[in-house]
Amino acid sequence: MKKLRFAGVLAVGALLLSACSGTGQSEGPADTADLDLSYAVITHGAPGDAFWDRVKSGAERAGEDYGVDVAYSSDPDPSKQSALIDGAVADKVDGIVVSMANPDGVKTAVESAVAAGVPVITINSGLEFSKAFGAITHIGQSEEIAGQAAGERLKDEGFTNVLCVVQEAGNVGLETRCKAVADSMGGTVENLQVDGTDDNAVQATITSKLQADTDVDGVLTLGGQYGIDAVAAVGEAGSDARVATFDLSEDVIKAIQSDDILFAIDQQPFVQGFEGVSGLYLKSINGNDVGGGQPINSGPAFITKDNADAVLKFAEEGTR
């Protein structure tokens, strides 16, 4: 560890001893402004994805609040994401936040970072592999729990034939989510693969499927912007199917308010970015391993017409 960082830890330790001494004296928190800490946030998010824009915003906000440098980068190709991780290690960052949509694809890079003494926190995807790869903790929502919750809600609403729209090929988290939906909903749940980098293509694929199968009564998308695509597809196909989605955007909330989307499940991406950096910061200044060996849940939370108004103001600010 850098001398300054070690000094910061000693200062925090001294503060704690003072607080326990019964003298009533307090010198305040240690000054960490001169620690010169830097963190890399490396995700699998595709360019222009609104969800990952919020993860980035959360991470950068944490960097501003703590006075540390945060560099965000992403690539949906696991080999290129691994190269970004290796590059961050070579740059001697003080910690890495990483999402693992393809755990096998980034395993070597993550384990190499940990072996090099770089603290790693995983977010969003890869919960089941995080601890095994040596990460401090995982911040996100359990795909299985979230999928089960969605399936139960769909069942309660009377759905029997649902499309589960998968926007990233090979993303094990999304596939797990759809399977959990099917397990808890019963009836028919069919995965529909779409190209999440092209909204027009997403809409066209959903439209074509709805025209071919008029028995479909529900479309569940796994990202907020694809929920908007699904609403347009339902209209274009002349279908009676209802739309529900995972993840939020301002447009999604307005669609909920207008009854075009039944509900959204929010896993709070801003929180994932913010808390990822926060966990690394605490590791740097105080040696903390947050989570106690367990993942930290950022969701799921249902957004419906009942609470959409309250959430909208945060979406307008770019944090939900």
With tokens 């969800």, the residue in question is 51
In the predicted structure, residue 22 carries a pLDDT above the cut 60: no
Written as six digits, the tokens of 164 are 């589960």
- Per residue in 265-310, pLDDT tens? 999 999 999 999 999 999 999 999 999 889 999 988 899 999 999 9
- Please identify which residue in the block is written with the tokens 């977010």: 123
| 157: number of Cβ within 10 Å | 14
Asked if pLDDT for residue 42 goes beyond 80, the answer is yes
Cβ contact 59:277 at 8 Å: yes
What phi, psi does 56 have (nearest 5°)? -60, -45
- pTM for the predicted model, two decimal places: 0.75
Query: Please, which residues have CB within 8 angstroms of residue 13's CB and are 6 or more apart in sequence?
Result: none
Tell me what the pLDDT averaged over the chain comes to: 89
The rounded distance, in Å, linking the Cα atoms of 288 and 277 is 13
Q: Give the residue, 320 or 18, on which the prediction is more confident.
A: 320
Local confidence band at 40 (pLDDT 50, 70, 90 cut-offs) = very high
Higher-confidence residue: 26 or 207?
A: 207
Q: What is the DSSP string of 195-261?
A: -TT-HHHHHHHHHHHHHH-TT--EEEESSHHHHHHHHHHHHHHT---EEEEES--HHHHHHHHTTSE
188's tokens: 């028919």
Does residue 142 carry a pLDDT above 80? Answer: yes
Question: 28-57 burial, b if ≥16 CB within 10 A, otherwise e?
Answer: eebebeebebbbbbbbbbeeebbbbbbbbb
CATH architecture of the domain formed by 143-266? 3-Layer(aba) Sandwich (3.40)
- Model pLDDT, residue 26: 42
What average pLDDT does this structure show over 111-128?
A: 96
pLDDT digits (tens, 9 = 90+) for 4-15: 333 343 333 433
The topology (CATH level 3) of 37-140+270-298 is: Rossmann fold (3.40.50)
Two domains, one topology: 37-140+270-298 and 143-266: yes
Domains of the chain, residue spans: 1-36, 37-140+270-298, 143-266
Q: How far apart, in Å, are the Cα atoms of 193 and each of 98, 205, 226, 248, 298?
A: 25, 8, 12, 20, 26
CB 39 within 8 A of CB 88: no
